Amino acid sequence: STKKLWGGRFQAQAETWVDEFGASISFDQLMVDEDIEGSLAHVKMLKKTKILPAEDCDKIAAGLEELQQELHEGKLHFTVENEDIHMNIESILTDKIGPVAGKLHTGRSRNDQVATDFHLYVKNRLPQIINEIETIQKTLVKLADENVETIMPGYTHLQHAQPISYGHYLMAYYSMFKRDVERFKFNMKHTDISPLGAAALAGTTFPIDREFTAKELDFSEVYSNSLDAVSDRDFALEFLSNASILMMHLSRFCEEISMWVSYEFNYLELSDKYTTGSSIMPQKKNPDMAELVRGKSGRVYGHLLGLLSTMKSLPLAYNKDLQEDKEGTFDTVKTLLPALKVFNGMVSTLKVKKDNMRHATENDFSNATELADYLATKGIPFREAHGIVGQLVLQGLQTHKNLQDISMDEFKEISPKIEEDVYEVLKPEVAVERRNSLGGTGFTSVRNQIKAAKAQLNMD
């Protein structure tokens, strides 16, 4: 273990393995771009406010820019001795430009530095995630457009409930993703705030200009309280929470894909590109990617719970516990982006077995509500109608007859008010087509949803 940047007051040095325990460089190097960017803004401010002589600032800025260059050429090497990305960069800068590098940290602390880097990291990823969600929304709208009149059983309790349009089903997910986009956009509001200049916890006596660095880094606001600035991780918690809800949505769709490609449902077929075979069973075509997207929701929830638990009871202001904020957040980004991409690929290549979906509504009693509603329109109180149809279902189950198989004579016995037009009403597509209450599964209603979605997404 070598002499530390902060080593002045120390007489003994930690063992290497203790350094390794405390170090974050193995993961926080992911914020190296943000770290250099933050330092460039800081040194520019030190020059502008004349806190440091201009020539020192120019040397430091030039050195940092060289580091940026070397970074992208893969020439920067980090060490555990330098603990984290902040001290690694400062140490490399010192090797490059000499002791003047030590002036960079004037009026700044690693506490506001790490908070700045982390804000920038999340801020830079939010638009990427929003973009991937919008791609999925477009895919869903396109598929919905092709399936407005695709009839399938709608389920409650996983039991056939009422027939619906598959397009309507798809637009339900569109709506869920719309809220996800809104949540991530709101997430930006609490991320787009600059902690830089809060220093260690209390601000600084140097005449720094926080508005200036915020502007340099493209932050819309500055934290108004230095204690809050260095210890707030709400933006990351909101991010993890939004990511968890998004993964939950993906997992529900993926669960339905997995069920619906099964022999028992056989409503959908996945492209070979998103399925895998079995090493023993030659016939297998497994929905591995759908299962994996579903499964990865678990680790994202874990990261949310992890950071909530880290933050719980944490006294103000900075504590080393806060170093635990990063890995789960980084892993969430690393999980989310490919999961969204795979999901979009799967859905955009999905084969919809329209006939099988339609067929599943033919031999069931999912038109029972239609008959009850029909009787109600003939003046029979709905409760009574419900009872009558319930009896018919019971009889039908015993005699293997569906409602549409009941003869006109039999219907007349139940109520003379039943006419020939009942058979039309009992057809699943008619049941769907007519449900045009606002937000219903009726064809017109689904087309309206698609139209609004297209306008929202600027689709043709």
- Per CB under 6 A, residues contacting ligand ARG are 24, 28, 84, 110-111, 114, 318, 320, 322-323
Q: Measured between alpha carbons, how far is residue 209 from residues 45, 55, 68, 197 in Å?
A: 7, 19, 24, 8
Alpha carbons within 13 A on the beta-carbon side of 215: 6
Select which of 157, 224, 313, 400 is catalytic.
157
* Residue placing its CB nearer to ligand ARG in the complex, 8 or 379: 8
Please report where in the chains the tokens 């997992």 appear, as a residue: 251
126-156 core/surface letters (b: 16 or more CB in 10 A; e: else): beebbebbbbbbbbbbbbbbebbbbbbbbee
CB of 266 to ligand ARG, least distance (A): 51
CB of 321 to ligand ARG, least distance (A): 9
* Residue placing its CB nearer to ligand ARG in the complex, 184 or 318: 318
Quick one: residue 2, left, alpha or beta (phi over 0 = left, psi -120 to 50 = alpha)?
A: beta
Say whether 165 is catalytic. no
CB of 361 to ligand ARG, least distance (A): 56
How far is it, in rounded angstroms, from Cα 369 to Cα 371? 5
Q: Please, is 108 exposed, middle or buried when counting C-beta atoms within 10 Å of its C-beta (0-12, 13-18, 19+)?
A: buried
* Residue placing its CB nearer to ligand ARG in the complex, 291 or 324: 324
Alpha carbons within 13 A on the beta-carbon side of 307: 27
* Residue placing its CB nearer to ligand ARG in the complex, 84 or 433: 84
User: How many beta carbons lie within 10 A of that of residue 431, not counting itself?
Assistant: 23
**Do the beta carbons of residue 226 and residue 203 sit within 8 Å?**
yes
The three-class DSSP label of residue 152 is: strand
Say whether 278 is catalytic. yes
Please report where in the chains the tokens 């602390």 appear, as a residue: 109
**Do the beta carbons of residue 114 and residue 84 sit within 8 Å?**
yes
**Do the beta carbons of residue 60 and residue 100 sit within 8 Å?**
yes
Give the closest residue to 371 by CA, choosing from 326, 331, 426: 426
What 8-state DSSP symbol labels residue 280?
S
Give the closest residue to 87 by CA, choosing from 21, 167, 184, 7: 7
Give the closest residue to 236 by CA, choosing from 325, 128, 124: 325
The residues that are catalytic are 157, 278
